[in-house]
Amino acid sequence: MSITVSNLTKSYGDFVALDDVSVTIPTGQLTALLGPSGGGKSTLLRVIAGLDSADTGSVSIEGVDATKLPPQKRNVGFVFQHYAVFKHMTVARNVAFGLEIRHRPRAEVKQRVGELLELVHLSQFADRLPSQLSGGQRQRMALARALAVEPTVLLLDEPFGALDAKVRKELRDWLRRLHDEVHVTTVFVTHDQEEALEVADEIVVINSGRVEQIGSPDALYDAPANDFVMSFLGAVTRLGGVLVRPHDVAVSLSPVSATDVEGTISRTLRVGFEVRLTVLTDAGEEVSVEMTRTSARSLGLEVGQTVWLSIAPGATTV
Ligand SMILES: Nc1ncnc2c1ncn2[C@@H]1O[C@H](COP(=O)(O)OP(=O)(O)OP(=O)(O)O)[C@@H](O)[C@H]1O
């Protein structure tokens, strides 16, 4: 096991940022730390990196107790959202930096930088200055720089956070492919559940300084441990007091079973291929329903209509 964090606690004054956190991060995998803002993700990453120390608990990296080691002795590479680049140095020199301060032979540095720039698809920009790159290209340069010294662990704190949606998506796909090529144990912080579900092998859900659940994207989505995890990983609504995903609510024009809940459509909204309904039940619940446009059309659903709702068989509920 690559990174083992045991019983970490960290407070800032009265505020508890990490509350007895224990996590094992497997070697060679891409792990997401996912959770709402202020939940403690960055604090955990900084403690793993050695940039911050915990009040109690321990961190071990590849079997070595790293709790008291300074960052430079942990063999970790990191990339943050607002990455500090050397503005006056070319892309190639930025990537070479870590190798040069370690006094590696010049020929080796040249070869390694060439390989890394190829890996991040920036070979043709080797001689540019960072200011002449796009935001996405700059983050790829940052990743190449972090990978240059062959870290055991790569730590990324919202590496794509400041970029626009389209570039984020491209970099996400790219990070996944890069990881499939180099297999370095990678931990990245995100508050974007789609990013975590799409990219990660394993997700650690963190909220209010505690680990809510650890598992694969499928496990978390299909078997959330609690309300928080279920709501954080996608849209939810309540039907008969049960938490369910809006696309798992079935709509009929007449009651199918005795447990069906009667209600009136109070709102319909079309978003692309999808139709979102709000149904006000006789019990006073406002239920959100999502269905394809085709299904909505075949039922002829309109505002004011009476419908019967049920939870689709096999649906995830909490
Ligand atoms: N140096 C500090 N002094 C006081 N409080 C801090 C300090 N650093 C972090 N905190 C607090 O600890 C909590 C956890 O912060 P952290 O940055 O780990 O959260 P996060 O989950 O990464 O959130 P975000 O996604 O917004 O970065 C926050 O409430 C924050 O205000």
Q: C-alpha 69: how far from its chain's center? A: 27
Quick one: pLDDT band at residue 153, thresholds 50, 70, 90?
very high
pLDDT in tens, 125-145: 999 999 999 988 988 899 899
CB of residue 17 inside a 6 A radius of ligand 1: yes
Mean pLDDT value of segment 32-53 = 94
Residue with tokens 């139709």: 275
Instruction: Tell me the ipTM for this assembly.
Output: 0.91
Best-predicted range by mean pLDDT (82-86, 151-155, 181-185, 242-246): 242-246
What is the chain's mean pLDDT, rounded? 92
pTM equals 0.88
Burial class (CB in 10 A: 0-12, 13-18, 19+), 234: middle
pLDDT of residue 161: 78
Of 83-87, 226-230, 241-245, 292-296, the least confident: 83-87
Of 33-37, 81-85, 249-253, the least confident: 81-85
82 pLDDT higher than 80: no
Residues 6+ positions from 150 with CB-CB distance below 8 Å: none
Q: Ligand 1: which of 42, 82, 228 to mutate, judged by most atoms within 8 Å of the beta carbon?
A: 42
For residue 163, what are the CA distances in angstroms to 81, 136, 156, 158, 169?
9, 7, 15, 10, 10
Q: C-alpha 225: how far from its chain's center? A: 18
- Give the residues across from 4 on adjacent strands: 24, 60
Q: Which domains does the chain have, with CATH numbers?
A: 3-229 (3.40.50.300), 235-311 (2.40.50.100)
Return d(Cα 207, Cα 38) in angstroms, integer: 8
Q: Is 283 helix (H, G, I), strand (E, B) or coil?
A: coil
How many whole angstroms from 197 Cα to the centroid of ligand 1? 23
Return d(Cα 49, Cα 47) in angstroms, integer: 5
Strand pairing class (202-207; 30-34)? parallel
Return d(Cα 232, Cα 205) in angstroms, integer: 9
159 pLDDT higher than 80: yes
State which ligand 1 atom lies nearest to the alpha carbon of 13: 4
Return d(Cα 221, Cα 122) in angstroms, integer: 36
pLDDT in tens, 188-216: 999 999 999 999 999 999 999 999 999 99
Q: Is 90 helix (H, G, I), strand (E, B) or coil?
A: coil
